[in-house]
Structure 1
Amino acid sequence: MNALLNMPDALTAESRLTPAANADGSHDKHWGLSEVVNGLRQSREHTKKIRYQGRVRELPSREIMQQILDGLAAALFPTHYGRPDLNDESIDHFVGSTLHACLTQLAEQVRRSLLFSAERSAAFDHNLKQIADEVTRSFASQLPDIRAFLVGDLNAAQQGDPAANSISEILLCYPGFRAVLSYRLAHTLYLLGAPFLARIISNLAYASTGIDIHPGARIGAEFFIDHGSGVVIGETSIIGERVRIYQAVTLGSKSFPTDENGNLVKGNARHPIVEDDVVIYAGATILGRITIGKGSVIGGNVWLTQSVPANSHISQASNRNS
């Protein structure tokens, strides 16, 4: 590690990304870079231009959003995700300073994400910073409520998993909880009008946990994802309270309707409704706007495309020898 930290200037990231210069000061032409750079500019600016509305260059930063996500987690659970040496005298100062840094960065990221809002207008653009500050302030005010939800999720994990020996173990070792933490933060931003930023948070959580929860999904209290890898929860899913799901569960869409021009219809309710106290075991696939009734148990590897009433027990048909 020390060798990496003492790496010579010639091997720094900046120098590795810069074409080597010849003795006369000109760049090495071995790779024909002038033609490549010009071709990429032509593609970027003219023939294959993908910039939003043809003009938006500013983008939210995934790297900064990861820093913000880590800081918010530390503010919510300071000794677990922040500093384990905190005490009663130092903890509030740590939380306050951490939140100040996070929220200052978040306001700028919200502003950048709002450039992609469907509500954009001249008046909207003129007040963009003010709107971003208001969104951030409202988000900050909801952090105590978010933490209350997360403590309920922690309790559900401890009660639902016999392998969970403590709340601290869940906080530090359970990817399902980290995914839910990210979802609760992202969902709040989604409802406050920053869906692009919310999607970045959910994608960062997916990258680190393998759990893909769309921030538009509505998930009730005391939610527990056990193990979690491969879980997918779609945008319009509605999940009640005290629901427990296992790895590789999909709450997805059965079909993708199109309009008269063949374009996908977006925003329609197309994912399942899971009522209170439902358990969904590993590998189950539940598709379409169907309802899983309260208290039901969906067995492993079930493929379900129709509603089931309350207290149902659905399992795969047994194989029988003829």
Structure 2
Amino acid sequence: MSHQSIVEKINIHKKQPNLRFRLKKDVETFTDLLFYTLFDIETPVADNLEALEAKFDSLVNLACWEFQKPCKKVWANYVQKLPNILEKLNRDAEATVNCDPASLSIEEVYMAYPGFYAIAIYRLAHELYSIGFPLVPRLMTEYAHRQTGVDINPGAQIGDSFHIDHGTGVVIGETAIIKNHVKIYQGVTLGGLYVAKHLQKTKRHPTIEDNVTIYANATILGGDTIIGANSVIGGNAWLTDSVPANSTVYHSPEIKIKTQTDV
């Protein structure tokens, strides 16, 4: 096969006219700048908002494929929401420093806690997702996923003072609802009971009410599954049914003790 025929065959099979991978890198740059604008004391807010607007306009050109480019109107509404998002994130950080005895300062939470970083990028992406801006929110949360091991779909609805401890392996699905003052640990999955494309517009993931704690590697599945307020879900629990308020659910392992004759 000649070099020219190889080129032609590759071009024939490149079928996605809107697939530009520089969008991925541009989203990562935008996300970093947005995070620093909100949190880094040495980053000038006024200057950065102008730079962010220019970067956002570039993202619109890459990710908004409608002819009239209606996404250009998104930035003005989005930037007005940033103070409220920052206020929520400060409450998330306070929740972490107040409940984790290993945290030495709130500055440590902002700079060193992967759970907080994943929540921050989720909250920034969720507002764009709610507006209907295509692809960019998903790329933002996937960027955080790659860095932290925490996979939060931007469509999830998460209330105030949310805390993820350790973080690695956490999965929160698109239609999950998490209310206020919820704490979850590493390896927790809030997922769908089963996967089928026709369920795309249905609630597939669980609801977690106020003041719930979910310990490591617990799996909670299903759109009709509700974990009642003030409940504690123990590590390694597997739930596909609702749990009443004020419940404790735990996995009881079978323990066999070897005797001398068993050795």
Q: Same fold (TM over 0.5)?
A: yes
Distance 1:59 1:138 in 2: 27
Partner of 2:208: 274
1:35 aligns with 2:5: yes
Percent of aligned positions with the same letter in both sequences?
A: 39
Partner of 2:192: 253
Shift of 1:161: 0.5
Alpha-carbon contact 2:23-2:63 (below 8 Å) kept: no
1:307 aligns with 2:211: no
Shift of 1:321: 5.3
Equivalences for residues 209-220 of structure 1 within 5 A: 209-220=148-159
Distance 1:244 1:110 in 2: 35
Instruction: Please list the CA deviations of residues 283-311 of structure 1 after superposition, one character each: whole Å capped at 9, or x if unmatched.
Output: 00000020000000000010111000001
| Secondary structure in 2 matching 1:142 | helix
Partner of 1:203: 142
Distance 1:249 1:40 in 2: 42
Q: How many residues align?
A: 256
Partner of 2:48: 98
| Secondary structure in 2 matching 1:248 | coil
Shift of 1:198: 0.6
Between 1:139-148 and 1:34-43, the stretch displaced more is 34-43
* Structure having the higher Rg: 1
Where do 5+ consecutive residues of structure 1 fail to align? 1-30, 80-85, 258-262
The structure 1 segments of at least 4 consecutive aligned residues displaced by more than 3 Å after TM superposition are 55-60
Instruction: Please list the CA deviations of residues 75-133 of structure 1 after superposition, one character each: whole Å capped at 9, or x if unmatched.
Output: 10123xxxxxx3xxxx6xx1111121112111221343221xxxx5xxxx23x1xx323
| Secondary structure in 2 matching 1:235 | coil
Equivalences for residues 161-176 of structure 1 within 5 A: 161-176=100-115
Partner of 2:228: 293
- Find 2:161's aligned residue among 216, 222, 226: 222
Distance 2:74 2:219 in 1: 36
Alpha-carbon contact 2:115-2:150 (below 8 Å) kept: yes
Distance 2:77 2:22 in 1: 19
What is the letter of the counterpart of residue 65 of structure 1? V
| TM-score normalised by L of structure 1 | 0.75
CA-based RMSD: 1.9
1:317 aligns with 2:252: yes
Higher relative contact order (CA 8 A, sep 6+): 2
Instruction: Please list the CA deviations of residues 248-295 of structure 1 after superposition, one character each: whole Å capped at 9, or x if unmatched.
Output: 1000000134xxxxx533121010000000000000000002000000
Alpha-carbon contact 1:69-1:182 (below 8 Å) kept: yes
Shift of 1:57: 5.5
Distance 2:101 2:242 in 1: 30
